[in-house]
Structure 1
Amino acid sequence: MTAQRVAFITGAGRGIGAAIAIKLASQRMSIVVADINEENATETVRSIKNSGGDAITVRCDVTSLDNVIEAVEKVKSHYGKIDVLVNNAGWEKVEPFLKSEPETWEKVIAINLMGTIHTCKVILPIMIENGYGKVINIASDAGRVGSTGEAVYSAAKGGVIAFSKTLAREMARYKINVNCVAPGPTDTPLFAEMVNEGLKEALEKAIPFRRLAQPEDIAGAVAYLASEDANYVTGQTLSVSGGLTMI
């Protein structure tokens, strides 16, 4: 069993997840880059190792409880434990609700909400057994205030926030912290795939800091909640939105 803290990060192959993985590696954590895209995951691990960090990849489809169980068993065999869980894997499609279709709803809920439920179901018992754990779920301000064109995504992320608050209450007896980070619009590959230049410029004008978040901005908030500095913080949702929402 490694003496370093071990962080299991879903969707860590690119974007916010990759930035979180690299940031936590810089805090001397061993990193599990869990992603359905093994090529992207390998690239994140390469970046961490090139900087002197320790990381491995595991293929993980968070929509499948069986696949999550398999991935976690591989991590247990390698590291012997998981200390930090970051549920970052996510997906969305921007469109008016009445033009959206059931297959889109199912995919959004399966990845964003059920994925978080699956990993918590499998990993929390490991944390309880080891007497230590920090869970950081990546939500969204869409789950707090709504977002036009993201009705089901907002519902899923709102579910993540409510789920996290309940888990925080249930896990407090084990001294396990459960919190959310809620990013605002963030300059990621997924964002670029979904949003045209006109909407991007409109968002930049609406954000008090006049720019989109960078993945590293989100990673810094996660690193705080994963650190010993946040030992007395649980059940909270930290918005990282450049002031776009102030709630």
Structure 2
Amino acid sequence: MLKGKVAVVTGSTSGIGLAYARAFAKEGANVVINGLGDAAAIEKERSAIESEFGVKALYSPANMLKPDEIADMVKLAETELGACDILVNNAGIQHVAPIEEFPIDTWNTIIAINLSAAFFAMRAAIPGMKAKKWGRIINTASAHALVASPFKSAYVSAKHGIAGLTKTAALETATFGITVNAICPGYVWTPLVEKQIPDTAKARGMTEEEVKKNVLLAAQPTKEFVTVEEVAALAVFLASDNARSITGSMQQIDGGWVAE
């Protein structure tokens, strides 16, 4: 379905991002993965994508705090693979603490990685998409782009910002064959979620098991974590021609969370 397309996915060395990259590759797209982690583990995932799906897979070490490196990542896709047809802004970090105790440096870093990096990547990718009259931009937002939770001020602010950025970019690119959408997952079992459980337990005075049951899954009427494969399948659909009329949307995949 996506044979010959090129997808750039930030934050894709694990979790949802890696699921995105593998799902696009399965549909025939060449991919650029990006993110942090052990070099050998990253190379294992990169080479696995090539061998399993018969596509080209490149790795960009671009730091999401550095606009120039983000632009270079997009340029890598364009020069080495021929285009940046699909851009998935997925890189993200989280910190849980009351506002009055929230570290200032951590606030700035979360806003930079979760929001500003998406802007810089879109800024770099849109000219090429406009020239080809085709493009797909998919931003990983969150249910927290639509509703709030306590102790996550920076993350919620950044994800609400992603919602606004998605809508604005959709309007600007609507006549160029480009769609811009955000996926809003509920709680997906990923390293990001797993790592925030101890901090949430401390902030709320709960055990970690109580956090899973009474905080995380309590928000989702299905009482189940969303899977990375489900999120990736939604991204593949949004990148398809069947989704060409879907733009500026917030696509919820949250087990019914926001319906309450």
TM-score where L is the length of structure 1: 0.94
Counterpart in the other structure of 2:65: 63
1:13–1:44 CA contact under 8 A, matched in 2: yes
Give SS of 1:31's match.
strand
Q: Secondary structure at the match of 1:190?
A: helix
Offset from partner CA, 1:128-165 (integer Å, 9 cap, x none): 11221000000111121111111111111100100110
Residue 77 of structure 1 aligns with which residue?
79
1:96-118 alpha-carbon deviations (Å, 9 max, x no partner) = 22210211110110100001001
Does the aligned pair in 2 maintain the 1:131–1:174 contact within 8 Å? Answer: yes
Distance 1:53 1:241 in 2: 32
Q: Distance in 2 between matches of 1:183 and 1:95?
A: 21
Task: Say which SS state the counterpart of residue 145 (structure 1) adopts.
Answer: coil
Superposition deviation, residue 90 in structure 1 = 0.5
**Are the counterparts in 1 of residues 32 and 59 from structure 2 also a CA contact under 8 Å?**
yes
Work out whether residues 207 and 243 of structure 1, in 8 Å CA contact, stay in contact via their aligned partners in 2: yes
1:134 counterpart (133, 136, 151):
136
- Give the corresponding residue for 1:88: 90
**Paired residue for 2:14?**
14
Alpha-carbon distance in structure 2 between the residues aligned to 1:53 and 1:162 = 37
State the match for 1:230 in structure 2.
Answer: 243
Written as runs of structure 1 = structure 2, the 5 A alignment for 1:1-247 is 4-37=4-37, 39=39, 40-54=41-55, 55-195=57-197, 196-202=208-214, 203-246=216-259
Alignment partners' CA distance in 1, 2:38 and 2:32: 12
* Residues 185-230 of structure 1: per-residue CA shift (max 9 Å, x gap): 1100121111133211222244222211121121111111111110
Runs of 4+ in structure 1 deviating by more than 3 angstroms, as ranges, are: none
For residue 8 of structure 1, report the CA deviation from its aligned partner. 0.4
Q: Which runs of 5+ in 2 are unaligned?
A: 198-207
Q: Deviations over 1:9-67 (max 9, x none)?
A: 00000000001111111111111112244625423313312313321111111221111
State TM-score, norm by structure 2. 0.90
- Where 2:175 maps in the other structure, the secondary structure is helix
**Secondary structure in 1 aligned to 2:53?**
coil
> May I ask how many residue pairs the two structures share in their alignment?
246
Instruction: State the alpha-carbon separation in 1 of the partners of residues 256 and 44 from structure 2.
Output: 32
For 1:139 and 1:7, how far apart are their aligned partners in 2? 18
Closer/same/farther in 2, CA of residues 164 and 38 from structure 1, 3 Å limit = farther
- Consecutive unaligned residues in structure 1, runs of 5 or more: none
Instruction: From the superposition, tell whether residues 60 and 38 of structure 1 become closer, same or farther in structure 2 (CA, over 3 Å).
Output: farther
Give the conservation status (yes or no) of the 8 Å contact 1:144–1:158: yes
1:175 CA displacement: 1.7
Q: CA deviation at 1:74?
A: 2.1
2: distance between equivalents of 1:114 and 1:37? Answer: 22
Shift of 1:73: 2.3
Instruction: Sort the Cα spacing of 1:57 and 1:38 in 2 relative to 1 into closer, same or farther, 3 A.
Output: farther
